[in-house]
Structure 1
Amino acid sequence: MKRLTSALILFALVGCDQSQREKKQTTVSPEMESVIKITAEQLGVSSESIRPDSTFASLGADDLDFVEIVMATEDAHKVSIPDELLTKIAGISAAEEIVHHLTIAGFAQALDSDEPQTESEPDKNVVTGLYAELVTRPLPEGYSYLFIPSLAAILTAAENKEGRPLTEKEVLSIRDKAPAMVAPNDVILKMNESRQYRDINPKSVWVEWQALRTQTE
């Protein structure tokens, strides 16, 4: 009887310890919860179907989807997440492969990283919005347009998603709906220095896009 009682106590203790371990394993950080929630909303999937070790590609995300997830996350957390930080965490050098290598946990790590992230503070000299809206206003002298992310990156992601070259009508439509900013030329020059894709002149977007595609083929 004593042996049976001891065995039951031991079983209960082991079960309790296992339960505690499982609870610790399922505990997620606020950053992870946010990334899962935003990713689920952007991709139209349930949060329960997203695991920390899921890559964005395994969840059905393409390059354009990932850009939208990053932008939504930056907006929600009022930070700027550098491409260099994401590729470093993913263990790759080419940003084009990021959806196949970066995991949900890795993206959450970028939010919780000690590496510098730029706080999104209001700047009276910078105006943001969709290009179609911004272009209706007079452009001050010494100011230019900057797409966020670059228009070349957006068009590249769109072509990868369609699996074919974009038509001129599609390129112009994407340009008009793309998020952009109007800022002083020195601010834009500084931001362009860290970009993988150079920005395209929106007024000659079709011609420049064709030239850029020819260079990369």
Structure 2
Amino acid sequence: MNNKLPIHFSSLLFLGLFVLLLGCSAEPASHPQPAASAAGGTTLSQVYVIVSQQLGVDPNDITADTSLAELKADELDFIELIMEIEDQFNVTIDDDAAHEMMGTSDWKKGMPSVTMSKLAQTIEQQRKSTTDNADAKPLNESQSK
């Protein structure tokens, strides 16, 4: 019986690696724009749509105070969600912003803190930051002396 356990485990490991590699190497499917985005919805309503699509939950079950922990999201879900948000909103959410949302660098402890409203606020902060940086005029040498 001990001989079968390693074979079973190695088969599962192989299958898991195969699925992981297949998912990483395949051309990503084009994601349709959220309906709220096309309709000019608020950032929060767009977050609802993205989260519901990414995590496979009904958007009507999501409120501003719903946390990713309540939706059973894990670290990989969080990373994929951030990547999708960055793509959809054309923003960059760096590690500092993600840690600020979670209140910690430990994702297990931080997931209950990441609510839909915090995601929306972070997006708006990143948008503002991007706009502020684009509006800033670079100093030329004569101005800096």
Return the TM-score normalized by structure 2: 0.55
Query: What is the rounded CA distance, in whole Å, between the counterparts of 2:68 and 2:82 in structure 1?
Result: 11
Q: 2:129 aligns with which of 108, 111, 116?
A: 116
Return the structure number with greater helix share: 2
Q: CA deviation at 1:54?
A: 1.1
Amino acid at match of 2:69: A
Structure 2 distance, partners of 1:94, 1:116, is 25
1:62-81 CA distance string (max 9 Å, x none): 11111111111110111111
Opposite residue 67 of structure 1, the aligned amino acid is I
**Which residue pairs with 2:44 in the alignment?**
32
Report whether the alignment pairs 1:49 with 2:33.
no
- Number of residue equivalences: 90
* CA RMSD of superposed structures (Å): 2.2
Is this contact kept in 1: 2:64–2:116, CA < 8 A? yes
In structure 2, relative to structure 1, the CA distance for the partners of 1:94 and 1:39 (3 Å cut) is same
Task: Tell me, yes or no, if the aligned pair for 1:90 and 1:103 is still in contact at 8 Å.
Answer: no
Structure of higher RCO (CA pairs closer than 8 Å, 6+ residues apart): 2
- Is the alpha carbon distance of 1:44 and 1:93 closer, same or farther for their aligned partners in structure 2, counting shifts above 3 Å? closer
More strand by share: 1
Alignment counterpart, residue 80 of structure 2, candidates 60, 63, 68: 68
The equivalences for 1:1-217 within 5 A come to 30-95=42-107, 97-113=109-125, 116-117=129-130
- CA distance in 1: counterparts of 2:43 and 2:105, whole angstroms: 24
Report if the CA contact (8 A) 2:66-2:115 is conserved: yes
List gaps (5 residues or longer) in structure 1: 1-28, 119-217
Q: CA deviation at 1:83?
A: 2.0
* Conservation of the 8 A alpha-carbon contact between 2:103 and 2:110: no
User: How many percent of aligned residue pairs carry the same amino acid?
Assistant: 31
1:110 is displaced (CA, Å) by 0.2
* Residues in 1 aligned to 2:129 and 2:107: alpha-carbon distance in whole angstroms: 19
